[in-house]
Amino acid sequence: MSNPLRIFLVDDELPALNRLQDILADCQNDVPHVVIGTATNGMTTLVQLAEHPADLVILDIQMPQMSGIEVARKLLDMQHPPSVIFATAFEDYGVAAFDVRAVDYLLKPIRHDRLVTALHRVLDLQQPHPEGVRQDTDAQGRTHFTVSERGRVHLVPVADACYLKAEQKYITLRTREREFLLEDSLTRLEDEFAGRFVRIHRNCLVAREAVVGFERVPNGSETHWVVLLKDLPERLAVSRRQQHIIKEFREHNADG
């Protein structure tokens, strides 16, 4: 961005608000920005942002009258919603925070390096994309899966997912490094990320960029097709109903 990032700060405790301004000032060389306003409650926040739009709102969660989660949900109704980063002393709200499409979730006391990382995430989301180039996000800009694991919330980049496989009531999200468990619907994920993933079986979506080929393997007296994945040993079965994708991949590679 050529212009400084316009940031609005919200915290019901003035010492926390002042500390946030101080640590932001220390980040000025890393990410140029201007604090366009502050508020100590949700209603004032919504009124001021309606009059003076921001690129980013850094928002406390536990506030009287209206929580930060409620504020973020109302911000989504704006014509041009700002990005939201939550800054809180509590870990318990991670899943709720990312349900309202927060870019990041910072635990107080906020460290300089974590804040810089979060600000860069906002900048990445706001970079213009060339005409005709599809972004790796959905219409609302979701770039990460949120995974709750042993009391912590992990942000897993959508771009890191090699496949999504339904197993009982969970979805196994496989990256090149490890597996995560998601509570989600495979059909909903297929609709949401149709440009990135392709269905190979009723229980499995594979990232297009992770596919390096297909192979026929013995299956009793018959053979069936499996997907070969980049940097992963797994061989994922392709159902008969989805075998048309093999032809589509081959045609695409031939055109390329």
Going from N- to C-terminal start, the domains of the chain cover: 5-126, 156-255
Q: How far is CA 167 from the centre of its chain?
A: 22
Strand, coil or helix: what is 219?
A: strand
Starting from the edge strand earliest in sequence, which strands make up the sheet with 163-167, in order?
Answer: 179-182, 170-174, 163-167, 204-207, 197-201
Q: Residue 200 contacts by C-beta under 8 Å, 6 or more apart in sequence?
A: 206, 227, 236, 237, 238, 239, 242, 245
Contact 55, 122 (CB under 8 A): yes
Q: Residue 186 contacts by C-beta under 8 Å, 6 or more apart in sequence?
A: 164, 166, 171, 203, 204, 205
pLDDT of 5 above 60: yes
pLDDT of 129 above 50: no
CATH class of 156-255: mainly beta
Give the range among 9-13, 53-57, 217-221 with minimum mean pLDDT.
Answer: 217-221
Contact 82, 10 (CB under 8 A): no
The segment with the largest mean pLDDT, out of 30-44, 83-97, 175-189, is: 30-44
In this predicted structure, what is the pLDDT of residue 142? Answer: 65
Encoded tokens for 90: 């509590």
The beta strands (E) that lie in the chain are given as 5-10, 33-39, 56-59, 83-88, 104-107, 144-149, 152-157, 163-167, 170-174, 179-182, 197-201, 204-207, 211-219, 222-229, 235-237
Tally the residues of the chain: 256
Query: Strand 56-59 to strand 5-10: parallel, antiparallel, or no bridges (unpaired)?
Result: parallel
Ramachandran area for residue 220 (φ above 0: left; ψ -120 to 50: alpha; else beta): left
Q: Determine the CATH number of domain 5-126.
A: 3.40.50.2300
CA gap 101, 92 in Å, rounded: 16
pTM for this prediction = 0.57
C-alpha distances in Å from residue 150, one per residue of 88, 111, 157: 19, 23, 19
pLDDT of 128 above 70: no
- Helices 14-26 and 112-126 sit at what angle, rounded to 10 degrees? 70
Question: 63-112: per-residue pLDDT in tens?
Answer: 988 999 999 999 988 888 999 999 988 877 766 766 778 888 888 999 99
CA gap 54, 51 in Å, rounded: 10
